[in-house]
Amino acid sequence: MKVYLILLLVVIPIITGGPIFRKSSVTTQKLVEKHGYSFEEHSVQTSDGYILGLHRIPYSPKVQSDEPRPIAFLMHGLLCSSSDWVIPGPENGLAFVLSDAGYDVWMGNARGNTYSREHASYNPFFKKFWSFDWHEIGLYDLSAMMDYVLYYTDEEQLTYFGHSQGTTTFLVLNSLNLRFNSKIKSAHLMAPVAFMENMEGPLTDIAALLFGQPNIWPELFGDMEFLPNTKLMELLGLTACRESSPIQFFCSNIMFLFTGFDYENLNTTLLPDILATTPAGASVNQITHYLQENNSGYFRQFDYGFLRNPFAYGSTKPPEYPIEEIDVPIFLYYSDNDYLSSVVDVHRLMRTLKETTLRRAYRVQHPKWNHLDHIWGMNIKEYLHDAIMEDLESMKNS
């Protein structure tokens, strides 16, 4: 069993990340520019040395105005990238929708993904590069990128949009670094992930049991890369996952195992681009941290085990994130068929946030809406984007 785990999580990522399987040719820039939108790429260095790719759609070709544009900052989920927001195209991609609504759109990329694989001192081939989880992404990556955006645009506030891990990292940053509370006009969190005790799915219990143990797993495989983006994945998408492929259903079923089954809203024409850009790479520690949340029932920092926790935190248990301290207008968007962000856990998050902070919790009115439908769902305007635009409008008068 141990040998197979090593092959799966060590050898395969190394092979698929090698030069023979170079990065996919599908990029956020190409996905944006093919629809006639302007694109900019910026680089930001964090206080701990990671160099992040930051992507911008400064204006929409459909909006002819020289008026200052409010800032929309979008942060992707686990194993994803800025490409998430543009893959569905101008009608359904949230980055395009916000750009058409007059926003100056910025899309972040977390350390370790396709666009953020540089460091001032470490190479991603070395273990030290991968010594992080989503705690550091929230505390260092988000803060560096948002500070850069506000400085570059000479604005005082931005509107935040996060999906999945992009919601987790928002809660991490704004609970531990309260200075950002005044810099965010409102936060719109899709498929919010904080408490995970009721995470579902056929593989959840097995994964949490095997990989969510603080005293074993991090010591063996913690500081390593998990599923980088490669040319191999792009070829897989073009061959096995295109619409004419007789085995296309395998692609959707693999995704559904983790996120919730929803054939009705899966736009199969997007699968080649999804496979070409996702997974975009992450640290094994990010996966482990989420599985620890499922095991413990708490939203707290990484558990290094009873031997190392006293050195890291001064106690045998990791500290919880004080999300009740957050003072940003928050809008939540969740659904009934989300394996990773269950209704019960979202309701617990709602009870934990300040009453004055939580402005609305919108439950998508579709019984099969799953975790990934929040970014790629076929009927996303009707079921989600209209609600988001209503909430944005409500903030104009607040």
Cβ distance 61 to 33 under 8 Å?
no
In angstroms, what is the C-alpha Rg of the chain? 20
Catalytic one of 164, 175, 283, 296 = 164
The reply to whether 164 belongs to the active site is: yes
Catalytic one of 163, 366, 371, 385 = 371
How far apart CA 261 and CA 264 sit, in angstroms, is: 9
Contacts of 163 (CB under 8 A, 6+ apart): 75, 76, 77, 80, 84, 190, 191, 374, 375
**Which residues are tagged catalytic?**
164, 371
